[in-house]
Amino acid sequence: NVSNYPPYNIVKTGSNKFDIVVALAGFNKKDINVTSENGMLTIESKVKSVVNDSIGADAKKDEKMVHKGISKRYFKKSFTIADDVEIKGAELKDGMLRVSMEKIVPEAKKLKTIEIK
């Protein structure tokens, strides 16, 4: 059972650079763990479940939920990362988590032009 939540894109940002962009409306960076181990990148919410009827942590105390369309449910998404890919960092901005990666190409495998004498 593969969940489609949260939705994500994989974007090529350069010749050897890629970003995984995950839509995380309502999440704060303190609510999310991004880890890398044994060729697996895992993005997981720290919140196992949110059981409260207020709109959120910054809601006023007299506010009550009338319609809950923005869910902050638990999720865990894992991506297989090749051995030659290095994770450069992660940033959460405007509800989008962006994890940047770069494929490291060793000097010996880079294209080089040999001068003909």
**For position 2, what pLDDT does the model report?**
56
- DSSP summary character for residue 4: -
Cα 39 from Cα 79, distance rounded (Å): 8
**For position 53, what pLDDT does the model report?**
43
**Between β-strands 76-80 and 40-45, what pairing exists: parallel, antiparallel or unpaired?**
antiparallel
**For position 103, what pLDDT does the model report?**
93
pLDDT along the chain (117 residues), means of 10: 82 95 91 94 79 52 75 87 94 96 86 89
**Strands, E, within 4-111: which ranges?**
8-12, 17-23, 32-37, 40-45, 76-80, 85-93, 96-103
Length of the chain in residues, anyone?
117
Phi, psi at 109, each rounded to 5°: -100, -5
